[in-house]
């Protein structure tokens, strides 16, 4: 059996010796030109069938129909300098950019006093400086950063934007009609003394009550709460020497951002509470949460804003008149909280039951379980959806226009009626500018949410 | 031992009240309930007091009073002498009209664009992606205003209308089309139309049952078309064309005759449906992507054409993923129709919570009715969609 | 849990203290330190904000006059811009203290809406504006026209009455704000813009080419425009009413911003009673006796207010007409101060 093997081996050696036999394999021929390169790509992707060809041609026609006129309007034929409508009246002119330039201050700040605008700039800059490291996932010190952004920044921003000296104790007193019979003539100083007397009495009373009820922890908690609250109210009483700017004077992008940021910051905790409430085993709590969530999800934001802006004082004690912007903010926050609650609920449902059982087996209380085990996982899961809610909140801020708060879009519309800039292209220029601004914000956020989604994706998908 | 047990019991009795989960949960619920009731009671008390102090009329009697204002689009007969109740109905119907038309258009565009985003064709994919990204990232109110103001000022006045075949006119007063006038015998045509639809439904269910059994169905598309369109046509010819058209004519300021679709309606429906379509497209895309590739490959290996694969294998499975978010989009569109107030379209919010509220001053009643109606619309829409969802849901055996 | 309980305890403690008696409007205003005044969202001559957010106009000046009477300071007033459709709700709910927003005085508003009109700042009537190139000279030729107007105004109802009474057809497109009405009219959505004639004069200035538009001669309604307060506080109603009468009396007596200091020394008993050098009329309303002096000093009399905002020297170019004083052939009649 070995015999045939030998000549075979010899033959191979012999073949190797022949010089006319190719040593290397011949390189593969390039594929037909119709299947590679641009032509192949086009055949594959654009003209693979009759239907596809038609679609491609229609698509290209559409692009040609839209893009060149747009570029011509926005850049080539656009007017870049000018002081009033005269510059933009010539027939065939494109975008009237001087109009945007002239109104730019109003678009950003509204009627915020010009010499005070630096305060808004500081708030913007500070916000950006704190937000940027928070968004970069690998940046260290997230806890401190989050505390600064969610805890300290709002206070600073509030003080800078309003002027800070709102005199909270007098404000509270006046709202609740406290001690009026005692002091007779209403002076702020007298009220202050009365307020603090009442405040300390309440604190001591509540603390003592708790102590008598043999709950030392409760007494400590009451004392701590009253102390923190007292410090906050006291801080509000400090005059920071800034000129007060009431919210009626705010406008433009400032209002848009204030509503969007406050809306999301306040609605997130509320949304989490509601989501927990809806999944609670306590029937009344669950029912109340469901009613709340479904109510706010079922009605249009416009009616909510109308109610909050014009009807709310009817339901409050006479003379109680919260700030107009604040009222809109509360409406927006409630509305967003209901949507966020559903988002968070989705995240809670996605956590495997084993996590709950494991936590309970470790002897954690319900609060500890939620705080340490469930919520961190659930919230991480729904970060992209939260960003999406934020995007829709950002877009929904335009609705405050209907209740006479001039956000970015509102200022734009107000600018349209300025006869100094009335020209055939003013309208389109304004829409183009606002469109670009809104698009940049929303598109940026949606890209970020996608990025986070990819980064945090821990599922083992293949 | 006895001592130990004693301390244990003592410790338990010292803390049991606060730490007993049952007691806690009851206390918490009672507190929550009391808080809500007290708040509600305070709200109602304050409102009653404030209203009484100002002697503002209350109650729902105003619904029978004469409204005395005009409305630009009415689906049911309405005049200035009609009541507020009638105005409410007009507004409600206008809202429903926008919602229904918007939902249909948005669904069609959304499915096309969503499938387009997964197309192999580069140009189609690029266009679909651009469409979704641009429209999704602009506020709806902005888009409504844009369609209304920008397009409106680009259109000519009624005298210089753009006309199509001299029958349809497009101007800044809207789209004017000939109005069909039904003459004698049109009732039978309508009857034939209804009969056609009924027959189609019956036949198709029979055909489906037969296909299940024998694998052979009827070509329902052609039969259905023939029944729904052909049957009434034959009856109409037999009845000697009872249908005539009233052609729009330019008279004075505006067109007289014909049916007019007002620009506010066009702008609102267009903006809402294109905006919502961008979201629907994303739902459709993720739904289709959720169907595993094996399904498509199996279908191909069975010899199904791509179009059939999409229709018979992919879409039915994708729908299970698509329907729940689709419901949300439908609800959003319905609620967003209240933005009509920004461009003067007479919807429920503009007519009822706007003009009527202002004239009667009964804010609480009117806002309560308005919110209630929207809640009801939401519940109806989600009930219908949930029922549909249950029908197509995966039946696990 | 504990924290929740403590918060609840806190709320409870404050809640108990919160049950207090209702205060009168004037006391509320004095303690908060300003008047909240509802104005329009921008109607030249009546109430309009400039580029910096400063409000001007005859309606705005009236609120300043009320603030002067109470605080001796015309800046102690905050303005809430309101659309026509939201204005009454804002007043009813107490969101604003006074509605000074070119509002027509009608019986239904006075009774079932719970308003009290304090006077008529401007006697007006509804008119129509139309493009010149439509070649229309009379409102009677408007049959079939599309009409733009603002929702929630008497204009909307008058329009319905006018066309019905004259057997003409029309199409109404009603917008929520003034600016939308003007924009839609400018874009050609409608043939005619209708509102009060003073309003037409103001809106015309906002159009791309104001000279292409004319106001038709017909006046189809009575529109007495004035400030309103809500029912239930007579003292506050009296104050607003008498601020208006004081301004009329000041014009009638020739007391104006320039000569008001000299007039303090006047021997004319009527002037003395007006400026508070004789009698205690201010105290009767809960104000100081020099209340009218403060008004004239800071804001001026009615005539000055008129001329400054809507008069012939302003872009609106409105002649006094029926708004002249009663002794000059007009309707403005200040009740005697005595």
Higher pLDDT, A157 or A320: A157
How far apart are the C-alpha atoms of A261 and A130, rounded to whole Å? Answer: 13
Share of chain A above pLDDT 70, in %: 79
CB contact under 8 A, B354 and C152: yes
pLDDT of res. A173: 54
A277-295: pLDDT as tens digits? 988 888 888 899 999 998 9
- Residue B344: its chain C contacts at CB < 8 A? 151, 173-176, 180, 184
Please compute the mean of the pLDDT values over residues C158-186 and round it to a whole number.
Answer: 88
The H or E element containing residue B95 is helix B84-116
Decide which of C233 and A175 is more confident: C233
**Chain B positions in Cβ-Cβ contact with residue C151 (cut-off 8 Å):** 344, 350, 354-355, 358
CA B237 to chain centre: 37
- Over the stretch B59-115, which tens digit does the pLDDT of each residue have? 888 888 888 888 888 888 888 888 999 999 999 999 999 999 999 999 999 999 998
Contacts of C28 in chain A (CB under 8 A): 318-319
Q: Say which residues have a Cβ less than 8 Å from residue A323's Cβ, sequence separation at least 6.
A: A246, A247
Q: Are residues A313 and C94, on separate chains, in Cβ contact within 8 Å? A: yes
pLDDT (tens digit per residue) in B306-358: 888 888 888 888 888 888 888 889 989 999 999 988 888 999 998 998 888 88
Instruction: Specify the pLDDT at position C323.
Output: 94
ipTM value for the complex:
0.79
Question: Of A388-402, A438-452, B6-20, B32-46, which range is least confident?
Answer: B6-20
Residue in this structure with the two tokens 């506020």, named with its chain if needed: B139
Phi, psi angles (nearest 5°) of residue C195 = -170, -170
Flag the least confident range among A27-41, B202-216, B286-300, C140-154: A27-41
Of the two residues A450 and B143, the one the predictor is more confident about is B143
The predicted model gives B361-369 an average pLDDT of 89
Cα separation, A208 vs A204, whole angstroms:
6
The arithmetic mean of pLDDT across residues B263-287, rounded, is 93
Distance from CA of C95 to the nearest CA of A (A): 6
Which residues partner with B179 through β-bridges? B246
Rounded mean pLDDT, A244-249: 79
Q: What is the C-alpha to C-alpha distance for residues C3 and B377, in angstroms, rounded to an integer?
A: 41
pLDDT for the residue A170 = 53
Pairwise CB contact (< 8 Å): A215 & B18: yes
Question: Would you call C126 helix, strand, or coil by DSSP?
Answer: strand
What pLDDT, on the 0 to 100 scale, is given for residue C123? 95
> How does DSSP assign A174-230, residue by residue?
HHHTTTHHHH-S--HHHHHHHHHHHHHHHHHHHHHHHHHTT-HHHHHHHHHHHHHHH
Q: How far apart are CA B176 and CA B179, in angstroms?
A: 9
C44 touches chain A (CB under 8 A): no
Do C51 and A226 make contact, defined as CB atoms within 8 angstroms? no
C2-48 pLDDT, tens per residue?
444 444 444 444 443 333 345 688 988 888 888 999 999 888 889 98
Q: Which residues contact A61 (CB under 8 A, 6 or more apart)?
A: none
DSSP state at residue B24: H
Q: Indicate if the pLDDT at residue B281 is higher than 90.
A: yes
* Rounded CA separation B243/B205 (Å): 33
| Contact call for A419 and C53, based on CB within 8 A | no
Helices assigned H by DSSP within C173-276: 178-186, 197-204, 234-252, 260-263, 269-275
| Closest Cβ opposite residue A177 in set C7, C23, C52 | C23
Q: Tally B–C CB contacts below 8 A.
A: 136
| Angle of the A188-212 helix axis to the A168-176 helix axis, nearest 10 | 80
Range 19-78 of A in CB contact (< 8 A) with C = none
- Which of chain C's residues have a Cβ under 8 Å away from the Cβ of A229? 10
**Residue in chain C nearest B71 by alpha carbon:** C172
Instruction: Express as a percent the part of chain A with pLDDT over 90.
Output: 12
- Tell me which H or E stretch contains C124: strand C122-124
Q: DSSP letter string over A113-178?
A: -GGGHHHHHHHHHHHHHHHHHHHSTT-S-HHHHHHIIIIIHHHHHHHHHH-S---HHHHHHHHHTT
What sign has the CA pseudo-torsion B137, B138, B144, B148? negative
Nearest residue on chain A to C54, alpha-carbon basis: A111
* Position A216 pLDDT exceeds 80: no
Contact B133 A443 (CB under 8 A): yes
Residues 6+ apart with CB under 8 A from C150: C83, C84, C85, C156, C174, C175, C176, C177, C178, C181, C195
Q: Give the nearest chain C residue to B363 (CA atoms).
A: C89
Residue of A nearest to C203 (CA): A417
Closest CA to B272 of B388, B138, B75, B126: B138
Asked if A233 has any chain B CB less than 8 Å from its own CB, the reply is no
Closest CA to B254 of A177, C191, A286: C191
Q: Cβ contact (<8 Å) for B33 and A284?
A: yes
B340 and A CB contact within 8 Å: no
**Tokens linked to C55:** 């409000």
pLDDT above 70 coverage of chain B, percent:
93
**pTM of the entire structure?**
0.81
User: Measured at the alpha carbon of residue B116, what is the angle toward residues B110 and B118, in degrees to the nearest 5?
Assistant: 115
pLDDT(A144) > 70: yes
pLDDT(A400) > 80: yes
Q: How many angstroms separate the CA atoms of B43 and B49, rounded? A: 10
Say if the Cβ atoms of B344 and C184 lie within 8 Å. Answer: yes
Shortest distance between the Cα of B304 and any Cα of chain C, in A, equals: 53
């Amino acid at each position: 059996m070995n015999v045939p093997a030998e000549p075979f081996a010899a033959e191979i050696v012999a073949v190797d010796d022949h010089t006319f036999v190719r040593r290397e394999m011949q390189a593969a021929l390039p594929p037909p030109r119709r299947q590679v390169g641009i032509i192949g790509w086009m055949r594959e992707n654009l003209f693979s069938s009759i239907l596809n060809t038609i679609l491609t041609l229609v698509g290209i026609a559409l692009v040609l129909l839209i893009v060149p006129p747009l570029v011509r309007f926005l850049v080539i034929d656009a007017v870049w300098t000018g002081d009033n409508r005269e510059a933009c009246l010539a027939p065939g002119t494109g975008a009237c950019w001087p109009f945007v330039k002239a109104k730019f201050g109003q678009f950003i700040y509204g009627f915020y006093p010009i010499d005070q605008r630096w305060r808004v700039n500081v708030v913007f800059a500070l916000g950006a400086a704190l937000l940027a490291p928070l968004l970069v996932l690998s940046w260290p010190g997230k806890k401190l950063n989050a505390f600064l952004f969610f805890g300290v920044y709002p206070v600073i921003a509030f003080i800078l934007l309003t002027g800070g000296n709102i005199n909270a104790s007098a404000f509270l007193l006046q709202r609740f009609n406290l001690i009026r019979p005692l002091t007779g003539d209403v002076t702020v100083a007298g009220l202050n003394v009365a307020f603090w007397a009442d405040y300390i009495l309440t604190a001591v009373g509540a603390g003592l009550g708790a102590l008598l009820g043999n709950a030392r922890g409760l007494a400590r908690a009451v004392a701590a709460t009253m102390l923190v609250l007292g410090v906050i109210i006291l801080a509000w009483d400090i005059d920071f020497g800034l000129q007060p700017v009431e919210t009626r004077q705010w406008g433009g992008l400032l209002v848009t951002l204030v509503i969007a940021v406050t809306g999301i910051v306040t609605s997130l905790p509320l949304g989490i509470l509601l989501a927990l409430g809806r999944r609670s085993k306590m029937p009344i709590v669950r029912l109340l949460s469901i009613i709340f969530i479904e109510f706010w999800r079922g009605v249009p934001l416009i009616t909510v804003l109308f109610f909050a802006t014009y009807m709310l004082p009817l339901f409050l004690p006479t003379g109680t008149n919260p700030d107009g912007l604040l009222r809109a903010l509360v409406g927006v926050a409630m509305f967003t909280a209901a949507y966020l609650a559903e988002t968070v609920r989705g995240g809670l449902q996605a956590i495997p039951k084993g996590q709950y059982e494991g936590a309970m087996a470790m002897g954690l209380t319900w609060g500890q379980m939620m705080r340490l085990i469930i919520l961190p996982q659930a919230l991480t899961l729904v970060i992209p959806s939260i960003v999406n809610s934020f995007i829709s909140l950002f877009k929904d801020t335009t609705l405050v226009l209907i209740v006479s708060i001039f956000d970015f879009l509102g200022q734009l519309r107000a600018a349209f009626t300025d006869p100094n800039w009335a020209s055939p292209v003013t309208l389109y220029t304004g829409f183009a500018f606002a469109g670009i601004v809104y698009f940049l914000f929303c598109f940026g956020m949606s890209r970020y949410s996608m990025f986070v989604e990819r980064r945090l994706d821990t599922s083992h998908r293949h | 031992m006895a001592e130990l047990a004693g301390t244990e019991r003592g410790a338990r009795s010292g803390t049991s009240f606060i730490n007993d989960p049952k007691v806690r949960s009851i206390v918490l619920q009672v507190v929550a309930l009391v808080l809500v009731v007290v708040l509600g009671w305070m709200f109602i008390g304050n409102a009653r007091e404030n209203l009484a102090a100002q002697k503002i009329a209350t109650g729902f009697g105003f619904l029978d009073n004469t409204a005395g204002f005009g409305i630009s689009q009415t689906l049911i007969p309405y005049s200035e002498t009609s009541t507020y109740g009638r105005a409410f109905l007009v507004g409600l119907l206008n809202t429903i009209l926008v919602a229904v038309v918007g939902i249909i258009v948005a669904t069609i565009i959304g499915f096309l664009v969503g499938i387009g985003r997964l197309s192999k064709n580069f140009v189609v994919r690029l266009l679909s992606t651009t469409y979704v990204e641009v429209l999704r990232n602009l506020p709806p109110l902005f888009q409504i205003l844009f369609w209304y103001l920008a397009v409106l000022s680009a259109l000519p006045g009624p005298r210089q209308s753009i006309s199509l075949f001299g029958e349809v006119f497009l101007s800044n007063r809207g789209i004017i089309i000939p109005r069909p006038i039904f003459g004698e015998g049109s009732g039978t045509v309508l009857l034939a139309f209804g009969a056609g639809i009924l027959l189609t439904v019956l036949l198709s269910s029979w055909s489906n049952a037969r296909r299940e059994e024998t694998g052979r169905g009827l070509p329902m598309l052609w039969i259905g078309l023939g029944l729904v369109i052909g049957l009434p046509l034959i009856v109409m010819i037999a009845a000697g064309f009872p249908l005539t058209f009233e052609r729009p004519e330019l008279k004075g300021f505006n067109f007289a005759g014909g049916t007019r679709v007002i620009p506010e309606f066009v702008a609102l429906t267009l903006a809402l449906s294109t905006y919502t379509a961008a979201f629907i497209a994303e739902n459709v895309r993720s739904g289709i992507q959720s169907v595993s590739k094996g399904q498509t490959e199996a279908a191909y290996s069975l010899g199904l054409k791509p179009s059939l694969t999409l229709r018979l294998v992919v879409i039915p499975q994708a729908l299970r993923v698509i329907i729940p978010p689709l419901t949300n989009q439908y609800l959003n569109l319905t609620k967003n129709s209240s933005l009509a107030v920004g461009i003067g379209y007479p919807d429920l919010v503009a007519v009822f919570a706007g003009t009527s509220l202002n004239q009667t001053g009964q804010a609480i009643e009117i806002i309560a009715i308005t919110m209630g109606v929207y809640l009801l619309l939401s519940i109806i829409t989600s009930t219908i969609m949930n029922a549909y969802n249950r029908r197509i849901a995966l039946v696990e055996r | 849990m504990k924290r929740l309980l403590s918060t609840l305890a806190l709320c409870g403690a404050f809640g108990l203290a919160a049950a207090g008696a209702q205060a009168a409007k004037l006391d509320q205003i004095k303690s908060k330190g300003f008047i909240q005044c509802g104005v329009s969202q921008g109607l030249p001559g009546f109430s309009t904000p400039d580029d910096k957010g400063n409000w001007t106009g005859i309606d705005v000046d009236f609120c300043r006059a009320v603030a002067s009477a109470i605080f001796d300071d015309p800046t102690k007033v905050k303005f809430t811009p309101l659309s026509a459709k939201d204005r009454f709700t804002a007043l009813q709910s107490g969101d604003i203290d006074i509605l000074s927003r070119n509002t027509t005085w009608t019986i239904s508003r006075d009774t079932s809406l719970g308003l009290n009109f304090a006077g008529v700042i401007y006697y007006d009537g509804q008119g129509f504006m139309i493009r010149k190139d439509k070649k229309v000279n009379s409102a009677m030729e408007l049959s079939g026209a599309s009409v733009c107007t603002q929702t929630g105004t008497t204009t909307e109802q008058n329009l319905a009455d006018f066309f019905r009474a004259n057997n003409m057809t029309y199409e109404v497109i009603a917008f929520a704000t003034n600016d939308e009405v003007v924009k839609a009219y400018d874009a050609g959505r409608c043939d005619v813009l209708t509102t009060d004639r003073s309003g037409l004069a103001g809106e015309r200035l906002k159009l791309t080419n104001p000279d292409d538009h004319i106001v038709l001669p017909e006046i189809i309604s009575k529109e007495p425009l004035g400030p309103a307060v809500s029912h239930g506080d007579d003292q506050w109603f009296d104050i607003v009413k008498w601020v208006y009468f004081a301004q009329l009396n000041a014009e009638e007596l020739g007391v104006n911003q320039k000569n008001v200091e000299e007039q303090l020394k006047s021997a004319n008993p009527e002037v003395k009673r007006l400026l508070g050098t004789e009698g205690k009329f201010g105290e009767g309303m809960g104000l100081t006796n020099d209340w009218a002096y403060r008004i004239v000093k800071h804001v001026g009399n009615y005539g000055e207010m008129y001329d400054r905002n809507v008069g012939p020297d302003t872009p609106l170019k409105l002649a006094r007409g029926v708004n002249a004083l009663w002794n000059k052939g007009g309707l403005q009649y200040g009740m005697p101060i005595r």
